[in-house]
Amino acid sequence: MKFDTIIIGSGLAGLTAGIKLAESGQRCAIISRGQSALHFSSGSLDLLSTLPDGTPVHTPEAALENLAEQAPRHPYSLMGKENVLALAAESEQLLTRADISLVGHHRQNHLRITPLGKQRASWLSPPEVPQAPLPWQKVTVINIAGFLDFQAELVSGSLSATGSGVHVAELTLPVLDVLRNNPSEFRAVNIARVLDLPENLPALVDELRLLLGSGEAMILPACLGLEARTVAAVEQALGVPVKLLPTLPPSVLGMRLHNALRRRFQILGGLIMPGDTVTGAQLEQGCINALFTKNHREVPLRTRHVILASGSFFSGGLDASRQHVTEPIFGLDVNIQAERAAWSKADFFTPQPWLQFGLTVNNHFQPSHHGECTKNLYAIGSVLGGFDPIQQGCGAGVSMLTALCVATQILVAAEACHEPA
Ligand SMILES: Cc1cc2nc3c(=O)[nH]c(=O)nc-3n(C[C@H](O)[C@H](O)[C@H](O)COP(=O)(O)OP(=O)(O)OC[C@H]3O[C@@H](n4cnc5c(N)ncnc54)[C@H](O)[C@@H]3O)c2cc1C
């Protein structure tokens, strides 16, 4: 099998790069071992919410120069302010072409309501996710009887503290009883698979109508809406806005985003090899010319370009032992704090240094191996170092922007070499 580009990892970074390359006519494959961070995410995408020194960011554009001073190895600092803004705009267009409806703009963060009812600055959110300040005097927050991954009382307490009138009610819907009997099955995605069935809509709407009371809007845990049409149908039947709050993983809103990106890549002719693990590569004259995987064993997957989008520790893109952090496929150079004692902080709530560990790359996002770059190997997304996706609120932005940055370079290089598309 021969490809223009093989991408390792089907998270937000890998899928974004794959879509851009496939849109330009490249023959692309994505090899992916398992689920990505999207399956566990809020479904909202962060661009830059806080500077490393703790300053909140309202307009990312205005904060990028400070970021470059405070974090010169941050992926945004490597690509430069103008590129960040252009690639953020390009990301928004790519999501639209993938038929993904999100609200927000890279020029201005919005405050989304979190599963605890707090506020968090974000770049793009599904339209069902409520934003602060809430435009309603009274809202009804729905708990689902027996569902442990959502705390309606906590949400209610946080929203009440900001001046909203909140009424909590409990949905008991008998159609969920089969799932409810097994607590380990009573998870957001399984509930959504039941509630999204068109035949269950009338009963759902009937019970929600009784529970709404005097609420001008309803907030539910995101246990419906694997397909966006369900929420629209409930909203239309109730006649009030219906909003969803992300729950503990697995995440309905994150999976919806993943499914839409995957669908777009495949429609464009991209090939996904799920459940396979890249184990190594064959090099010739300083370039990778083939990859090897667990499933294909000794059959080489030939390629002109390779993008490593294997994620951070969470997805196995980085591996940690007590003394070392390694990149397990190619043994690439990882940028870590020298002192073992400085890897983590005792206070769980302060930014953790290990979250910034990742690959050392040059300004073209080419990783090194003992200081030497491989010409046709690039790294994107959360396998990179130099940023903290939690403290800085930049995880999705780094994934999408580095993906587009690298895909553009590959297309330019392919054109310069007159590679046939
Ligand atoms: C639990 C969690 C929740 C998050 N929530 C948010 C959020 O709500 N908003 C936000 O902006 N950011 C969030 N982030 C930050 C997140 O890192 C980025 O937003 C982004 O989704 C990361 O995408 P990625 O493609 O770089 O990596 P990942 O999503 O981690 O994908 C890496 C992929 O590579 C595959 N892989 C690894 N090794 C191999 C191999 N050897 N062979 C083949 N495949 C391999 C993995 O199976 C996986 O599919 C979250 C991160 C985590 C961990």
Check which CATH number belongs to the domain holding 34 and give it.
Answer: 3.50.50.60
Ligand 1 atom closest to Cα of residue 394: 11
The pLDDT of residue 421 is 56
Clarify whether residues 188 and 213 are in a common domain.
Answer: yes
Give domain status of residue 265, yes or no.
Answer: yes
Could you tell me if residue 116 is inside a domain?
A: no
Cβ neighbours, 10 Å, residue 340: 11
Same domain, 293 and 344: yes
123 lies in some domain = no
Q: How far is the CA of 14 from the centre of ligand 1 (A)?
A: 9
Rounded to whole angstroms, the Cα distance separating 315 from 198 reads: 35
Asked if residue 196 is part of any domain, the answer here is yes
12 pocket-lining for ligand 1 (C-beta < 6 Å): yes
Q: Which of 223, 245, 267 is the last residue of a domain?
A: 245
Residue 421 lies in a domain: no
Whole-number pLDDT of residue 116: 86
Pairing of strands 271-274, 242-245: unpaired
Same domain, 6 and 48: yes
Taking the C-alpha atoms of residue 241 and residue 264, their distance in angstroms, rounded to an integer, is 29
Number of domains in the chain: 2
Q: How far does the centroid of ligand 1 lie from the alpha carbon of residue 178, in Å?
A: 32
Examine the domain organization and report whether 275 and 394 are in the same domain: yes
Among the atoms of ligand 1, which is closest to the Cα of residue 328?
41
Q: Could you tell me if the CB of 18 is within 6 A of ligand 1?
A: no
Q: Where does a domain end: 245, 269, 304?
A: 245
What's the pLDDT at 10? 98
- What pTM was estimated for this model as a whole? 0.96
Tell me, using a 6 A CB cutoff, whether residue 95 lines ligand 1. no
pLDDT of residue 420: 60
- Provide the residue-wise pLDDT of the chain in tens; the chain has 421 residues: 799 999 999 999 999 999 999 999 999 999 999 999 999 999 999 999 999 999 999 999 999 999 999 999 999 999 999 999 999 999 999 999 999 999 999 999 999 999 888 999 999 999 999 999 999 999 999 999 999 889 999 999 999 998 889 999 999 999 999 898 887 889 999 999 999 999 999 999 999 999 999 999 999 999 998 887 899 999 999 999 999 998 888 899 999 999 999 999 999 999 999 999 999 999 998 899 999 999 999 899 999 999 999 999 999 999 999 999 999 999 999 998 778 999 999 998 899 999 999 999 999 999 999 999 999 999 999 999 999 999 999 999 999 999 999 999 999 998 888 766 5
60 and 157 housed in the same domain? no
For ligand 1, atom 37: residue with the closest CA:
310
Same domain, 236 and 262: no
267 and 399 belong to one structural domain: yes
Per the structure, the complete domain to which residue 72 belongs is given by 2-108+255-416
Task: Give the pLDDT score at 203.
Answer: 96
Domain end, chosen from 245, 271, 303, is at 245
Q: Is the CB of 381 under 6 A from ligand 1?
A: yes
| CA of 86 relative to ligand 1 center, distance in Å | 23
Domain contains 204: yes
* 250 domain residue, yes or no: no
Residue 286 and residue 313 share a domain: yes
Residues 263 and 233 in one domain: no
Q: Is 33 in the pocket of ligand 1 (CB under 6 A)?
A: yes
Kindly state whether residues 311 and 374 are assigned to the same domain. yes
Span from the CA of 46 to the centroid of ligand 1 (angstroms) = 13
Q: Tell me, yes or no, whether 296 lies in a domain.
A: yes
Supply the pLDDT for residue 197.
94
pLDDT, position 164: 86
Nearest CA to ligand 1 atom 7: 41
Tell me: do 41 and 184 sit in the same domain: no
Is the peptide bond preceding residue 126 cis, with omega within 30 degrees of 0?
Answer: no
Same domain assignment for residues 81 and 103 = yes
State the burial class of residue 118 (Cβ atoms within 10 Å of its Cβ: 0-12, 13-18, 19+): middle
For 2, the token pair is 């021969």
